[in-house]
Amino acid sequence: MTPSAQAVVSGAALTPFDRRKDGTGFRDWSRDAFNAALVMSTLEPQDLDAIIVASESDFFSLQLNPASILATDLGLTGCAAMRCEGGGASGQVAVHAAVDAIASGRMRHVLVIGVDPSASSLSGDAMRGLYGHSFDTWSDGLTGVTSTALYALSYKAFAVEFGTTEEDLATVTIQNRANALQNPNAHLKRADTADQISQSPLVASPYRKLHCSPLSDGAAALILSHVNAAPAARKHAPRIAGIGAATDHMHIGARAKPGNFSAKTSAMLRATRMAGITPDDVGLAEVYDAYAGAQLQALQALGLSDNAAKDMQAGVFSPTGTCPTNLSGGLMGQGAPVGATGVGQTATCALLLEGRYHEKLQTQTIPRYALADTHGGLCTNANVTILSQGPGA
């Protein structure tokens, strides 16, 4: 048995991703997600050995030690506690840390909480300024360059290499937002049309406002258990089959191919080797679509397609395709509370593999393997998680 296959998803839950205007905060959302995951797991709080919290920035929550705070709030005093941060990949970094803790034999049950108040804590301009520091502060953050501009530069190189068009960006946008319409927890429930997209304000060519993901609030929770300690009711639950992580040059000008998410390719190779599969075995995916073009770049880098734009147009990644992708709506539709993103992707994949997802989005045929993909910076660090159906599922 590989180390990763020892981790069973005992519990999984997401709060709505949206802009909170009800006076609640990250501690409230974390409690909501935790309580739902705990009920699903059939465990008690005292069964948990550790809490691992994913939160991208202290500036969002104004809390320097969120793991210890949440351990107290959630009644987990006595647990080991730690926080993980990896930019946009923070949630997946935390999932991987939990898998490693379980594989080491030190932990039986680990709670992973991903949370960030990315919409309600600061102004949009302040958030965009902070996101610039997800790159190199010296050369990017302090110059005022935005993440949208850097993503746009990378996507332009990809578009030149693979011949993608505005129509391809619209296809991604329309599909993800259409999926979000069926997701009761989604932030942007919109039926965008190609005309609406093309007429929305230009942010950084070729990206327009409707090609971008929103700033969101929310939390997601996972409870991972060692296979030998999984509750009886969860023995056949989905498992973490493989994990992989890698990095690339911080500056896209230093990359051999600025339009390629090479770190994602390396992370996927490590995850598939651990799982003993190939990308062709993946039957559904939640990929990091901070921008419409980033989804095309991800699909290609992950080996899910040799021509992502062509396959998007052909419906390969649609809800009825051979590899439904971003059924949740992705970041563009479901929303993007950064620390919660990777945890939420993994939770979504687990729920889909178990047939417990939102009724209108649950696939009729459940595949053997699902993929959760997240990255930080401009795919400077990439983290990939592969989940499999549990035995006897």
pLDDT tens digit sequence for 213-233:
999 999 999 999 999 999 999
Q: Does pLDDT of 3 surpass 70? A: no
Walk me through the domains of the chain, giving residue ranges and CATH numbers. 4-122+217-388 (3.40.47.10)
**130: Cβ–Cβ under 8 A, 6 or more apart, which residues?**
57, 59, 60, 122
List strand residue ranges (DSSP E) for 130-238, in order: 202-204, 207-208, 217-226
pLDDT averaged over every residue in the chain: 95
Q: Does pLDDT of 1 surpass 70? A: no
Task: Give tens-digit pLDDT for 114-159.
Answer: 999 988 888 888 887 888 778 888 888 788 888 999 999 999 999 9
Task: Give tens-digit pLDDT for 278-300.
Answer: 999 999 999 999 999 999 999 99
Q: Does pLDDT of 393 surpass 70? A: no
Q: Does pLDDT of 112 surpass 80? A: yes
Q: Would you state the pLDDT for residue 123? A: 83
Q: Would you state the pLDDT for residue 6? A: 87
Count of CB atoms within 10 A of residue 229's CB? 16
Share of the chain above pLDDT 70, in %: 98
Mean pLDDT, range 39-67, rounded to an integer: 94
Q: Is 184 helix (H, G, I), strand (E, B) or coil?
A: coil
Q: Would you state the pLDDT for residue 284? A: 98
Q: Would you state the pLDDT for residue 287? A: 98
Q: Which residue has the higher pLDDT, 179 or 60?
A: 179
Task: Give tens-digit pLDDT for 337-379.
Answer: 999 999 999 999 999 999 999 999 999 899 999 999 999 999 9
Mean pLDDT, range 235-244, rounded to an integer: 96
Q: Which residues pair with 206 in a beta bridge?
A: none
- Positive or negative, the CA dihedral 227, 233, 236, 239 is negative
Written as six digits, the tokens of 9 are 């998803």
Q: What is the CA radius of gyration of the chain?
A: 19
- pLDDT band of 2, cuts 50, 70, 90: low
Mean pLDDT, range 189-208, rounded to an integer: 95
Q: Does pLDDT of 391 surpass 90? A: no
Q: Does pLDDT of 392 surpass 80? A: no
Q: Would you state the pLDDT for residue 124? A: 80
